[in-house]
Amino acid sequence: MGTPAVVLLSGGLDSTTVLAIAKDRGFDPYALSFRYGQRHVVELEAARRVADTQGVKRHVVADIDLRVFGGSSLTADIDVPKHDSAAELTDHDIPSTYVPARNTIFLSFALAYAETVGAQDIFIGVNALDYSGYPDCRPEYIAAFETMANLATKAGVGGSSLKIHTPLIEMTKAQIVRAGTALGVDYGLTSSCYDPSASGEPCGRCDSCLLRLKGFEEAGLNDPLAYQAA
């Protein structure tokens, strides 16, 4: 039996790679996904497929409703921005797809889950390079969360310590795709699109699709997903 670890699993390329890395490092993964009012619920179906096939100890889907606050195109009725190529994504302005405090809320739930299953390790697929300008993907943010978490919990009181693992934080999308492929990840199970069709086909033109496609291209690998016709 391995050491338990909570793995935040959206069902996208990054978190699916993180799950494979956690397993490769000998952890027993307890996967955690969220139904948070996101428009792209096909992501959750991808998370279930990944959890089912990659062998997790348990998969919890927590219901939270960030729509009560409004404020983002991922949860409200604002159009998802579309582009013709990844070249348009070079500036690091905070995009309208930013969800207020999302990673903080996700990590807080992961902390509760970790404490319940006796885990001292949490894995999250944040990425500071291809990060599209989200402030809560920066290394200094993760370090501050870890400090806070160790003061928040029973574990912190007892002197043992909780660790937030961010194996992708300094990897390019191409490096992520290569690492996951080396570990046997089937990226055909994953879903990255901010605005997929009803049947789950990715748009190929939102920030997330463009970064993904660029990653596969730079890695010299084929993305197994079937994209919507332009």
Query: Which of helix, strand or coil describes residue 27?
Result: strand
The closest of 151, 152, 182, 180 to 167, measured between CA atoms, is 180
Cβ neighbours of 156 (radius 10 Å): 16
Closest distance of CB 112 from a copy of itself, Å: 4
C-beta of 134 vs 194, nearer to a copy of itself: 134
C-beta of 89 vs 117, nearer to a copy of itself: 117
9 is in an annotated binding site: yes
C-beta of 81 vs 200, nearer to a copy of itself: 81
d(CA 177, CA 17): 8
Helix (H) or strand (E) holding 18: helix 13-24
d(CA 25, CA 38): 31
Helix (H) or strand (E) holding 3: strand 3-8
129 is in an annotated binding site: no
66 is in an annotated binding site: no
Closest distance of CB 162 from a copy of itself, Å: 10
132 is in an annotated binding site: no
Tell the residue number behind the tokens 């990653």, with chain if given: 215
Closest distance of CB 127 from a copy of itself, Å: 16
Distance, C-alpha 14 to centroid of its chain: 6
Closest distance of CB 89 from a copy of itself, Å: 18
C-beta of 28 vs 223, nearer to a copy of itself: 28
Closest distance of CB 199 from a copy of itself, Å: 29
Please report the DSSP string for 123-144 in residue order: E----SSS-TT-GGGSHHHHHH
Cβ neighbours of 214 (radius 10 Å): 18
C-beta of 60 vs 89, nearer to a copy of itself: 60
137 is in an annotated binding site: no
19 is in an annotated binding site: yes
Query: CB under 8 Å to 169, separation ≥6 — which residues?
Result: 126, 127, 128, 137, 139, 142
C-beta of 1 vs 151, nearer to a copy of itself: 151
Closest distance of CB 44 from a copy of itself, Å: 14
Residues that bind a copy of itself (CB under 8 A): 60-66, 68-71, 94, 98-105, 107-109, 111-113, 115-116, 135-136, 138, 140-141, 144-145, 147-149, 151-154, 156-157
Binding-site residue set for ATP: 9-19
Which parts are annotated binding residues for Zn(2+)?
193, 203, 206, 209
